[in-house]
Amino acid sequence: MTELLGLQSLTKAVREPNGAMRPIFDSLTFTMASDERSVALLGRSGSGKTTLLRIIAGLDGRYDGQYVFQGTALAKHLDPLADHRRRHIGLVAQSYDLLDDFTVERNVLFGARGLEQPERRTREALALVGLEGMGKKPVTKLSGGEAQRVAIARAIIRRPTLILADEPTGALDEDTEGEVLDLFTRLQESGTSFIIATHSPRVAAACHRRVMVADRRLRELGDDRGPVRAALPIAGGG
């Protein structure tokens, strides 16, 4: 079984406002196989879920331990981390992170910088997420579900190996959450892998594997789809 990514002995602490160091991870270990399509990342508010996604995305190199992606150990410097992110990672945030002054098309094009035929890739990405023909619409006129689809289109335009989604349905109603999950399933069927930080039992149950950040490490909750409500912590960020 080929490994997509591996975190070995990951240790990280952050400085509190009073100057004290608060440990986030202590010798945390995590692996994801290349043929795994979805992992739900669970944990209480402040447990480190978002921090872990940022490390995997190459947005945070301030940690001890080793991060290996597709067999290559990543250096913890700005340029190699940025290159890793551009080549392999798509990011989807709960807040969408869209540019309000621009149209749907311009927001997706923002993720296509440096690509050949960016306009064509933008049209393809919008069609894939069900927003064909909406490129000229201002993002301020979108529903929550449509805005999240724009964010997903921007994340997939570079055809990433792995999409990291941080509470992607946290601000959506139940019907719209189901639509986003259906979209994630279609993307997984095309070969894209997902790690999804979530407090939603429905999202967690839809993932093939669930892990929880607890006591500064990761605990496996199982790899069979099914009810997980009893294992989910209270809602909150982090």
Per-residue model confidence as pLDDT tens digits over 129-176: 999 999 999 999 999 999 999 999 999 999 999 999 999 998 899 999
Question: Count of CB atoms within 10 A of residue 15's CB?
Answer: 9
Question: What is the structure's pLDDT at 10?
Answer: 98
Total count of residues recorded for the chain: 238
**For the whole prediction, is pTM greater than 0.85?**
yes
The percent of residues in the chain predicted with pLDDT above 90, rounded, is 81
Instruction: Report whether 112 contacts 157 (CB < 8 A).
Output: yes
The percent of residues in the chain predicted with pLDDT above 70, rounded, is 92
Q: Could you tell me which of 92, 128, 129, 130 has the C-alpha nearest to residue 111?
A: 92
Per-residue model confidence as pLDDT tens digits over 97-139: 999 999 999 999 998 888 899 999 999 999 999 999 999 999 9
Q: Could you tell me which of 134, 6, 150, 163 has the C-alpha nearest to residue 70?
A: 6
Q: Report the distance separating Cα 238 and Cα 231, nearest Å.
A: 17
Instruction: Report whether 111 contacts 170 (CB < 8 A).
Output: no
Average pLDDT in the chain: 90
Segment 23-44 shows an average pLDDT of 97
Question: What is the structure's pLDDT at 225?
Answer: 55
Lowest mean pLDDT among 35-39, 58-62, 112-116, 135-139: 112-116
Question: What is the structure's pLDDT at 79?
Answer: 84
The rounded radius of gyration (Å) of the Cα atoms in the chain is 18
pLDDT of 233 strictly over 80: no
pLDDT of 54 strictly over 50: yes
pLDDT of 234 strictly over 50: no
163 CB-side CA count, 13 A: 27
| CA atoms 109, 105, 196, 95: torsion sign | positive
Question: What is the structure's pLDDT at 229?
Answer: 43
pLDDT of 208 strictly over 50: yes
End-to-end CA distance of the chain: 31
Question: What is the structure's pLDDT at 42?
Answer: 97
Segment 45-63 shows an average pLDDT of 94
pLDDT of 7 strictly over 90: yes
DSSP bridge pairs for 64 = 11
The residue extents of the domains of the chain are: 37-63+89-231
Question: What is the structure's pLDDT at 94?
Answer: 80
Query: What is the 8-class DSSP label of residue 40?
Result: E
pLDDT of 55 strictly over 90: yes
Q: What is the CATH number of domain 37-63+89-231?
A: 3.40.50.300
